[in-house]
Chains A and B, each alone.
Chain A
Amino acid sequence: QKEVEQDPGPLSVPEGAIVSLNCTYSNSAFQYFMWYRQYSRKGPELLMYTYSSGNKEDGRFTAQVDKSSKYISLFIRDSQPSDSATYLCAMRKGGSQGNLIFGKGTKLSVKP
């Protein structure tokens, strides 16, 4: 079992829909949780960053972390065709700027 599990999709939704993406993990030492967006043939770019449990909102994006369930989510409201990309969850243990562990990525397509 990998440390971070993410359903690769693909996920196809109509424009304006609410999108829910999620990851589960097995290592309770993870404390920093991120969501990256990766467009085709581009590098990942950071969308959301959360420390420990809780919610964080930024515009149409909301990130949730539930450490008790080892489950993180990203919600996208009023989805747009420009949101079509692969979304990668990533996490890191505390205590050092060590390496990120990424999920496999979920490919999202928002249809106009």
Chain B
Amino acid sequence: DAGITQSPRHKVTETGTPVTLRCHQTENHRYMYWYRQDPGHGLRLIHYSYGVKDTDKGEVSDGYSVSRSKTEDFLLTLESATSSQTSVYFCAIFSGNSYNEQFFGPGTRLTVL
């Protein structure tokens, strides 16, 4: 258990509404990531953070923004949700110190109607 929680775990929303997903970690890891998983696909990177207020885009960043105001929290925001953003969203951490693995949170299932 890498001490990662995600909230909410499930959310149904309507097209055009803003949505914020939260990733919280308890072990002071420097790197945090947001991925999305769609049916029949592996995970794809949306955004990542390499420190407080330090973020960068991933492969599928269009329509998403992120913020990291403190080490333990990494927020993913859909400013105006679209049906194409219906997906399962996973947060991950990487410490880069004693081990080189990414560990994943439990996921958030988002449905945009």
Do A and B pair up? The answer is no
- Residues of chain B touching chain A, judged by Cβ–Cβ distance below 8 Å, are none
- Residues of chain A touching chain B, judged by Cβ–Cβ distance below 8 Å, are none
